[in-house]
């Protein structure tokens, strides 16, 4: 069996094999000229991005549609030049002031959302496409076996299932022994069972191939499930890059807490007796600032709230989803007109029908987190 870490030698001028696989420093990018004004809608797709990918690491790029995730991948791959800043691969600058290295010399593999396989080539020739003429193909045979495609070498893309096409696209990206693989929502077109299986296999496959990975997704559950760290972007800005546990337990901004765990963000006021919210007075964790009048925002996890049926209560069940082991409820709060998400686990959770009234409370032992005012409560 071929050595999974085998890779073609990097010629002079190519991204080498020392240093962090990916490092971005002060990267800005835009596709259109900057307007004369100073509004945020000034054409910048990415704003001052600092990000480092460690060797052997799988990092998720998470955020709403249009936040700049795919653009970031295109800059790393060399399909776009950054407007400002520096980008290095394996310790060597590949983009920046006075420096540019062509995509084919960067040792970067790319897996596209639509696979981008060549319909006129069979699986074997698709997988070999990125290799140089005369290059050893034993690694391709090893990859096809590793990815469960052995025996399908002579099939064309239209003769493969969606999951097999995705595996073939990954094999093609890994065949030239890249130091880093970029994946742009690779599982979005697959059914649930195949998606769950492939995403659980991805970290092990990258590890066996000696490659680091950057994976774009807009699904927080997917990013938290498989990534070593997750970088959360919004409107071209990097809000936080941290381990999945840290993102959930210590979100750096209100948006991170709102987007990653679908947290509830409510207006609040701090006074000597605690934090006053539409749900009553709460104990909060690590207040990080408030307005001069004591105003702030409080972030409450959907798991941190309870609902008790009460015909005279100020809350009402507006909608619900059964998720197998828990109920997801959308509950309207009469005080302030807020809508809150609750995740109540079975078997302790009661089955609350739509329209049922009740009272909301913080689960004993759970705590909220404070953030300064001024954050847009919406998640685009």
> Domains in the chain, please, with CATH?
22-107+178-249 (3.40.50.300), 262-371 (no CATH)
> What residues does 295 pair with on adjacent strands?
269
- Give residue 287's pLDDT: 54
CA distances from 187 to 47, 190, 244 (A): 27, 6, 19
Q: How far apart are CA 266 and CA 369, in angstroms?
A: 11
pLDDT < 70 positions in the chain: 1-18, 33-41, 283-294, 348, 374-380
Q: How far apart are CA 105 and CA 10, in angstroms?
A: 8
- Give residue 35's pLDDT: 55
Identify whether the C-beta of residue 139 lies closer than 8 Å to the C-beta of residue 2. yes
Provide the sign of the torsion angle of the four alpha carbons 254, 57, 78, 172, taken in this order.
negative
Give phi and psi for 340, each to the nearest 5.
-120, 150
Q: How far apart are CA 327 and CA 259, in angstroms?
A: 19
Q: What is the DSSP letter of 211?
A: -
CA-nearest of 360, 325, 207, 339 to 262 is 339
CA distances from 101 to 24, 76, 82, 90, 141 (A): 15, 11, 12, 13, 30
CA-nearest of 110, 122, 198 to 158 is 122
Q: How far apart are CA 103 and CA 366, in angstroms?
A: 49
Helices and strands (DSSP H and E) totals, the chain: 8, 22
Q: How far apart are CA 13 and CA 10, in angstroms?
A: 8
CA distances from 264 to 89, 256, 282, 333, 350 (A): 39, 11, 14, 12, 21
92-96 sheet: strands from edge to edge: 44-53, 22-30, 84-89, 92-96, 99-100
Q: Around 356, how many Cα atoms within 13 Å sit in the side-chain half-sphere?
A: 16
H or E element that contains 307: strand 305-309
pTM over 0.85: yes
Q: Around 98, how many Cα atoms within 13 Å sit in the side-chain half-sphere?
A: 0
Q: How far apart are CA 108 and CA 211, in angstroms?
A: 10
> What residues does 62 pair with on adjacent strands?
217, 232
- Give residue 6's pLDDT: 38
């Amino acid at each position: 069996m071929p050595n999974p870490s085998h890779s073609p030698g990097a010629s002079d001028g190519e991204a080498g094999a020392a240093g962090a696989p990916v490092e971005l420093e002060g990267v800005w990018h835009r596709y259109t000229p900057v307007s004369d004004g100073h509004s945020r809608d000034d054409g910048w797709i990415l704003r001052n991005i600092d990000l480092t990918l460690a060797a052997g690491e799988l990092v998720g790029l998470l955020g709403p549609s249009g936040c700049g995730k795919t653009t970031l991948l295109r800059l790393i791959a060399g399909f776009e030049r950054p407007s400002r800043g520096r980008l290095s691969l394996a310790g060597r600058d590949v983009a920046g002031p006075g420096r540019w290295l062509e995509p084919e010399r960067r040792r970067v593999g790319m897996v596209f959302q639509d696979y981008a396989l060549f319909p006129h080539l069979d699986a074997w020739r698709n997988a070999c496409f990125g290799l140089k003429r005369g290059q050893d193909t034993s690694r391709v045979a090893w990859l096809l076996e590793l990815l469960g495609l052995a025996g399908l070498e002579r099939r064309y893309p239209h003769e493969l299932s969606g999951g097999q096409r995705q595996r073939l696209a990954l094999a093609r990206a890994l065949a030239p022994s890249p130091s880093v693989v970029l994946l742009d929502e690779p599982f979005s077109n697959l059914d649930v069972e195949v998606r769950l299986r492939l995403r659980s296999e991805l970290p092990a496959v990258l590890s066996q191939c000696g490659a680091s990975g950057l994976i774009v997704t807009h699904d927080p559950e997917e990013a938290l499930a498989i990534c070593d760290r997750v970088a959360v972007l919004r409107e071209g800005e990097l809000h936080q890059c941290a381990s999945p546990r840290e993102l959930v337990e210590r979100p750096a901004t209100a948006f991170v807490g709102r987007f990653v765990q679908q947290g509830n963000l409510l207006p609040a006021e701090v006074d000597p007796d605690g934090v006053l919210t539409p749900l009553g007075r709460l104990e909060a964790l690590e207040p990080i600032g408030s307005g001069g009048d004591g105003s702030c925002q409080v972030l409450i996890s959907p798991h941190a709230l309870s609902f008790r049926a009460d015909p005279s209560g100020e809350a009402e069940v507006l909608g619900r989803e059964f998720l197998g082991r828990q109920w997801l409820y959308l509950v309207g709060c009469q005080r302030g007109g807020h809508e809150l998400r609750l995740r109540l686990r079975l078997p302790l959770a009661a089955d609350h029908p739509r329209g049922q009234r009740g009272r909301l409370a913080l689960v004993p032992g759970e705590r909220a987190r404070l953030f300064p005012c001024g954050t847009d409560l919406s998640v685009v």
